[in-house]
Amino acid sequence: MTGLRGWIIGLGWALAVAGCALSPGHTDASVTQPSRPVEAVDPLPAQPLPETAAFISSDTGLVARRVRDRALATQVLLALSDVPALRAYLPTVVVQEGRVTLRGVVPSEALRQQIGQVAARVPGVETVLNELDVEASADASARYHTVRSGETLWDIARRYGLSVNELRRMNGLYGSVVRPGQRLRVR
């Protein structure tokens, strides 16, 4: 009720200001010009202008494409999480017009190829760009953290004395979203 009352008061204020235009040279707000008669105006055309229609349809097309891309990225992640051996290594999935890009770090070339194959089998995927990095097995000092529910990149980075950017760089992450069960390199 308060919102409606405020809207009505605002409308009344706008009408009062519009009807009380001062005459030229006057500075006294109490003196107003007499109101002029309202002229009849033709209603707006029913069809939008051609350039407006093109803008609206291109904007709608862009939104629809983004929704399809997000849905496809979700389908790829679900397909990867259906394979128990891949759950700990879920990559970052970026989709643009049916082209899937996989980013992240995996422990072996075999897992890298398996993730690419599973992503390619998802209906709607045109091509897969597999940018997954294989971690160097000779690095014995490497240490990993498995993300738990509720943890953020900031929490994990602070725990291991890293900055969020260092953690992202080590794991090939471009965003700040991590999922429970995801395995991140921390050393």
pLDDT at 117: 93
CA gap 180, 25 in Å, rounded: 71
CA gap 185, 172 in Å, rounded: 10
Q: What is the tens place of the pLDDT at every residue in 40-68? A: 445 545 555 555 555 555 677 888 888 99
Q: Are 115 and 130 in contact (CB under 8 A)?
A: yes
pLDDT at 22: 45
Mean pLDDT on 12-17:
52
With a cut of 80, say whether residue 86 has pLDDT above it: yes
pLDDT at 56: 55
Question: Is the model more confident about 85 or about 7?
Answer: 85
Average pLDDT, the chain: 77
CA gap 94, 131 in Å, rounded: 11
Question: Is the model more confident about 160 or about 5?
Answer: 160
Residues 6+ apart with CB under 8 A from 68: 124
pLDDT at 90: 86
Q: What is the tens place of the pLDDT at every residue in 90-132? A: 888 999 988 999 988 888 888 899 999 999 999 999 999 998 8
